[in-house]
A = this chain, B = another copy of it.
Amino acid sequence: MIYFDSAATSWPKPVEVLQAVEYCLKFVGANPGRAGHRMAVEAGRIVDEARELLAVLFNIRNPDRIVFTLNATEALNLAIKGLLKAGDHVITSSMEHNSVTRPLHVLQGKGVEVTKVPCDGEGFIRVKDIEAAIKPNTAAVIITHASNVTGTMMPVTEIGQLCKRKGLYFIVDAAQTAGVFELDVRFMGIHLLAFPGHKGLYGPPGTGGLYIAEGLELQPLKEGGTGSNSELPGQPDVLPERYESGTLNSAGIAGLAAGLKFIRREGMERIRRHELELTRRFLEGVEGIKGITVYGPKDLHNRAPVVSFSMKGKKAALVGAVLDQKYNIACRAGLHCAPDAHRTLGTLEQKLVRFSFSYFNNEREVDYSLNALRELDATAPEKLAAGYGKSCGC
């Protein structure tokens, strides 16, 4: 199988990630931070190590300012709901994932004002449009580092500078970039950085986290056992416990630590170069297929290795089903949980097919997929629908 769905979750995982998970489950199965016995202490050490590796990756001074969550969505919910209160105004883009727009939608019902700055047809946001949207009650800017639909990279450093100048909090959704692109919370002026563990960081599913800038206090999303200051009626103030109630996914975090070490060993730049090289090859190849329209930036400038496209006269779900069943290519067809992005691109009705490339893909796979798309392009829609329409409900 050719796996082009790494924007959903990366696969395969480096072998050391699997080994780390197995080792943790087999030999360090205790609950970290919950007891003084050696196995619990060792479980705590593994979790701390992951925190330290993340701190180095994101240039975070104090690893305890990173809290682990189930996924990036939970991290974004904690960031957004933990920070904003009634009367606040928040600025975001028209390219966001539902993990940003839906919590904001809920907050709108509670008196938070939201401005969605329109992006251009390639998904780019202009910093001056953000600046123009600032009001006296603006509290924060929330933006994705790269669109999960078009791969469009947002000018995070410039937005960070704007936020610093205007005294706004800056929240970044790094779902598509953590582990692949530079993320320096200090240089970029990021106050809250949400990241998944299971995409570009190569950890198992069930891992993610949030960096919370020094001095910033959020309302916790959950309260419960923290393993420290148990006698307090409410959550302790100390991080990371304040935001990490209940048993952590320690085995998953062990795998995440192994994924982080894999990135360090291979080199993030090398990983990125490989993924972007595949993206370039695909973009160039697809240019010659006349029925295909690619959305988002046409070149590699400011682009993550995610490409969405449509095929003239063929529904995205049908194309996805044929790629899967006939060509054994795993990709994703639909709205990618980002209807705002599709509204921006004008593809809400039609939907798109998304290919996302990883370090474990190769040129042969890209070429094979281009051939598949050429064949598909040359096939009448009715013929495809007759063969595969049932399976995708088209």
Identify 7 new A-B residue pairs, CB closer than 8 A, beyond the known A70-B249, A230-B338: A12-B26, A13-B25, A18-B25, A18-B26, A77-B224, A208-B247, A252-B252
Contact pick for A205, options B22, B31, B208, B338, CB 8 Å: B31
Of the candidates A231, A232, A233, A247, the one having the most CB atoms from chain B within 10 angstroms of its own CB is A247
* Stretch of A1-9, A48-56, A57-65, A277-285 with 4 or more beta carbons under 8 angstroms from chain B: A1-9
Residue A335 at the B interface, CB < 8 A? yes
CA distance A266 to B99 in the complex (A): 41
Range of interface residues on chain A? 35 or more
**Contact sample, A vs B, 24 pairs, CB 8 Å cutoff:** A8-B40, A8-B247, A9-B31, A9-B34, A21-B22, A31-B205, A35-B320, A36-B324, A71-B247, A72-B246, A73-B222, A97-B225, A98-B224, A99-B225, A99-B246, A103-B224, A105-B223, A204-B249, A204-B251, A205-B251, A226-B337, A230-B335, A231-B348, A251-B252
* Stretch of A118-126, A299-307, A326-334, A364-372 with 4 or more beta carbons under 8 angstroms from chain B: A326-334
Of the candidates A36, A77, A338, the one having the most CB atoms from chain B within 10 angstroms of its own CB is A36
Q: A25-B21, A37-B330, A320-B36 are in contact. Are A224 and B337 (CB under 8 A)?
A: yes
Residue A275 at the B interface, CB < 8 A? no
Q: A26-B12, A221-B221, A224-B73 are in contact. Are A233 and B101 (CB under 8 A)?
A: yes
Residue A245 at the B interface, CB < 8 A? yes
Residue A176 at the B interface, CB < 8 A? no
Residue A390 at the B interface, CB < 8 A? no
Residue A198 at the B interface, CB < 8 A? yes
Which residues on the B side are within 8 Å of A74 (C-beta)? 70, 222, 245-246
Residue A336 at the B interface, CB < 8 A? yes
Residue A381 at the B interface, CB < 8 A? no
For residue A207, give the distance in angstroms from its CB to the closest CB of chain B. 8
Which residues on the B side are within 8 Å of A291 (C-beta)? none
Residue A141 at the B interface, CB < 8 A? no
Which residues on the B side are within 8 Å of A227 (C-beta)? 337
Say yes or no: B8 contacts A34, CB within 8 Å.
Answer: yes
Which 5 pairs, one residue from A and one from B, show the smallest C-beta to C-beta distance?
A206-B249, A73-B246, A225-B337, A11-B29, A99-B224
Of the candidates A17, A74, A205, A206, the one having the most CB atoms from chain B within 10 angstroms of its own CB is A205
Q: A206-B252, A224-B337 are in contact. Are A36 and B101 (CB under 8 A)?
A: no
Q: A37-B320, A98-B230, A246-B74 are in contact. Are A223 and B31 (CB under 8 A)?
A: no
